[in-house]
Structure 1
Amino acid sequence: MEISKFLLLSLSLVFILVVAESFEYQEKELESKEGLQAMYDRWRSHHKVERKSSDRFNVFSYNAHRVHKSNKLNKQYKLKLNRFADFTHDEFKSKYADSKIAHKLALQGARPCPQNNNNDISNIPESIDWREKNAVTPIKDQGQCGSCWAFAAVAAVEGINAIRTGQLVRLSEQQLIDCDSKGFNNGCEGGLMEPAFNFITEHGGLATEESYPYVEKREVCCSSKFGHHSVTLNGGERTDGTEEALLKAVAQQPVSIAIDTNSEDFMFYSEGVFNGQCGLTITHGMTIVGYGTSPDGVKYWIAKNSWGEWWGEKGYVRMQRELQAPQGLCAINTYALIPVKDPNTPNNEL
């Protein structure tokens, strides 16, 4: 009897947690302004959103109809009304998904990272998930700072350090935002991952998050922390832009990538294998931490995002791979960076 009560209580807690982390609504609420207004108020309360105006309500209503219509179609992924639901797509891109990567690559010109052209994938595993191998730190949240480039770079460095040393250490995006500023990296105004790897290599490593915490804005560089409590690198490599090269790289370690986010569906992605329409102008950095195949036979990448656990699959997105387009879905193959760490290169004060 006591066991039954315990099981009932456990199931109830699970149900409460599931409801608490997802915003639910009834289809009939979409049929009237009053219903939508009630939805809007509940959504604001659910996500603790303070802003409120007729314009925000109009945007929310548009997005609510769009998400509902998409979820009624036979897509292999679902959307949800997350914290972005009262943003237009242009507002979303400017605040969260425009690190100006393609723009900065064009200005950079020559590619400073050596290319890795050995694309033999005959001996790689059918699937891999670096989260299961203790090489991925918990999901982080960049906030309204265009620092995805730093988060994408740091997650890859955290991964290779864990693989080389057996220690999973949370590292500092803030140090890159504050201090990596001489080239094309510009704090919350966007940047590139390959110069970040070079910066880490040339400045005594990357500080831990504990010693140099994130503040969601650019501040004065604390250069006294260079070389202290830091993870070191030996440079970085860039793939040749093919899916084979990316697959081989991810089989060995987490890899920084960039994608085009010109997709309203990506903004509201909730679950499943994403294969929505998008372009080829890369603007947003993430980190691929694995790959696999769904029960339906759809092959996918596992990408770690930096928008918090409330977005996507607890902060992650599965994106379809093995498409006909050589650039991959949303140009995911085109800008892939691999941090290099020699097993014999020691870290500093860790």
Structure 2
Amino acid sequence: MESKLLMLLFLLGTVACSANDHRDPSVVGYSQEDLALPNRLSDLFTSWSVKHRKIHASAEVKARRYEIFKQNLRHIAETNSKNGTYWLGLNQFADISHEEFKASFLGLKPGLARRGAQPHASTAFRYENAMNLPWAVDWRTKGAVTPVKNQGECGSCWAFSTVAAVEGINQIATGKLISLSEQELMDCDNTFDHGCGGGLMDFAFAYIVGSQGIHTEEDYPYLMEEGYCREKQPHSKTITITGYEDVPENSETSLLKALAHQPISVGIAAGSRDFQFYKGGVFDGACGTELDHALTAVGYGSYNGQDYITMKNSWGKNWGEQGYVRIRRGTGKPEGVCDIYKIASYPTKNVT
């Protein structure tokens, strides 16, 4: 069984090398040579463990992780054999089960708005009458996107999505790209949001408005866990926003109108193994059953007839396309692939 899986992986790598898109020639994150050299899958697991600095507490733990690794590798190989518009690869999540992944690395909680007070977003949609949208937008090339960050084993995606959107509008308004503090939201925005336990971007925007700003990442660095709130720091810089607005639900056109003007916080149903191991391409595969993760839309475009929206994730650069994912658009589904048009919002700020 192991030899058959290795052969499948090698053949997939050979096919991928001749692909006419941006497909990684190592469909599982390793070169053809890497896949041809090991005599056993255990050697591939060892090299992967070294690459991702995985340390196992005991032989029993290592054996259990190895079995999960093989199951995940088989899913990656079988998915890539279908030769779709996207492909999967080995990443830092390869030795954890899908249930463990969902429990530790997601974190969007749209239900908070039902259990607590409703976020008071403006009822206006300032981009409603936007016309003549550019055929493509990439806020990374416009200098409005900070480098990809890593939330780690903590359900703080909502904080990273919020911060990325605020970083974007602040750069657009002031011309200065400043990395801001997810940790402040983790520690201080706790009326309705719950740190590693999950949260919602609108509540986080409301916190920033009510607190007269958010600190920089340099002054308030990320800890990957909830800490003591240090909201008031003398002689430290804060970045303000004037408010926030929701994008009309289930409207691709509305999201594109907003995204043409600034980065947008977006909820997504990311609880699938395909999304867990996404490596590249235009994603239109299996999604989760509910909105459970938060990303930041930073552009849109088209490649080989495939229209997509570019999303910034917070799982580090080893995931996806250097930390980004392209989600297919133009499918005709009101909610979009993985429900990306259900919950989207953005901060507002006066131009200075």
Which of 48, 61, 72 pairs up with 1:43? Answer: 48
- Structure 1 residues 63-102: aligned runs within 5 Å: 63-97=72-106, 99-102=107-110
Cα distance change of structure 1 residues 65 and 226 upon mapping to structure 2, 3 Å threshold: farther
Q: Which residue of 1 aligns with 2:258?
A: 249
**How many angstroms does 1:263 deviate by?**
1.5
Among 1, 15, 30, the alignment partner of 1:23 is 30
Count of residues paired in the alignment: 319
Q: 1:42 to 1:325 in 2, by over 3 A?
A: same
Structure 2 unmatched ranges of 5 or more: 1-24
Corresponding residue for 1:137?
146
Determine the C-alpha separation between the residues in 2 that align with 1:43 and 1:62.
15
Equivalent residue, structure 2, for 1:149: 158
2:197 is aligned, of 168, 185, 189, to 189
Checking the alignment, whether the CA contact within 8 Å between 2:155 and 2:198 is kept in structure 1 is yes
**Which one-letter code corresponds to 2:42 in the other structure?**
Q
The 5 A counterparts of 1:252-263 are 252-263=261-272
Question: Are positions 1:339 and 2:347 aligned together?
Answer: yes
Q: Measure how far apart 1:109 and its partner are.
A: 6.5
Relative to 1, partners in 2 of residues 1:35 and 1:271: Cα closer, same or farther, differing over 3 Å? same
CA displacement at 1:143 relative to structure 2: 0.5
Unaligned runs of 5+ in 1: 1-17, 345-350
Counterpart of 1:107 (choices 97, 109, 115) is: 115
The correspondence of residues 1-350 of structure 1 with structure 2, limited to 5 A, is 22-24=29-31, 25-26=34-35, 35-51=40-56, 52-97=61-106, 99-108=107-116, 110-117=118-125, 119-120=128-129, 122-182=131-191, 184-225=192-233, 228-241=236-249, 242-279=251-288, 281-294=290-303, 296-344=304-352
C-alpha contact 2:110 2:199 (8 A) present in aligned 1: no
Q: TM-score, normalised on structure 1?
A: 0.86
CA distance in 1, matches of 2:43, 2:176: 48
Stretch deviating more after TM superposition (134-143 or 216-225): 216-225
**1:149–1:285 contact (8 Å) kept in structure 2:** yes
Partners of 2:185 and 2:167 in 1: how far apart? Answer: 14
Shift of 1:120: 4.1
Q: CA RMSD in A?
A: 2.0
Question: Is the 8 Å Cα contact of residues 130 and 289 (structure 1) preserved in structure 2?
Answer: yes
Q: Partners in 2 of 1:328 and 1:226 — Cα distance?
A: 45
Cα displacement (A) at 1:106: 3.2
Instruction: Determine if contact 2:108/2:158 at 8 Å carries over to the other structure.
Output: no
Q: Conserved in 2, the CA contact under 8 Å of 1:140 and 1:307?
A: yes
**What percent of counterpart residues are identical?**
40
Q: What TM-score results when the alignment is normalised by the length of structure 2?
A: 0.86
